[in-house]
Structure 1
Amino acid sequence: MNYWLVKSEPDKYGWSHFTAQGRAVWDGVRNYQARNNLVAMQVGDQVLFYHSVTNPGVVGLATVVREAYPDPTAPDDPRWRVVELEPVMPLTRPVSLAQIKAEPMLGNIALIKQSRLSVMPIRPDEFELIVKLGMSV
Structure 2
Amino acid sequence: MNYWLLKSEPDTFSYTDLTQAHTQTSLGRTVWDGVRNYQARNILRDDFSVGDKAFFYHSSCKQPGIAGICTVTKTGLVDPSSLDPASDYFDPKSSSDNPRWITVEVAAERELSRVVSLKEMRHHDALKDMVLLNRSRLSVQPVTAQEWNYILKLAES
TM-score w.r.t. the length of structure 2 is 0.84
Q: Runs in 1 of length 4+ with deviation above 4 angstroms?
A: none
Shift of 1:114: 1.1
Give the count of matched residue pairs.
Answer: 136
SS at match of 2:80: coil
Shift of 1:23: 0.4
Distance 2:77 2:19 in 1: 22
Give the CA RMSD over aligned residues.
Answer: 0.9
Is it true that 1:97 corresponds to 2:104 in the alignment? no
Distance 2:116 2:17 in 1: 19
Distance 2:117 2:105 in 1: 25
- Percentage of pairs with the same residue: 46
One-letter identity of the residue aligned with 1:26: W
One-letter identity of the residue aligned with 2:14: G
1:10-25 equivalences in 2 (<5 Å): 10-21=10-21, 22-25=28-31
Shift of 1:135: 2.1
Partner of 2:80: 72
Partner of 1:127: 148
Distance 2:30 2:40 in 1: 17
Higher helix share: 1
Distance 2:121 2:76 in 1: 29
Distance 2:37 2:30 in 1: 19
One-letter identity of the residue aligned with 2:35: V
Is it true that 1:81 corresponds to 2:102 in the alignment? yes
Partner of 2:49: 42
Partner of 1:28: 34
Higher strand share: 1
Out of 127, 131, 139, the residue aligned to residue 110 of structure 1 is: 131
One-letter identity of the residue aligned with 2:37: N
Q: Which runs of 5+ in 1 are unaligned?
A: none
SS at match of 2:11: helix
Shift of 1:132: 1.2
Q: Which runs of 5+ in 2 are unaligned?
A: 22-27, 84-92
Distance 2:109 2:132 in 1: 21
Distance 2:19 2:49 in 1: 21
Partner of 1:62: 70
SS at match of 1:29: coil
Shift of 1:68: 2.1
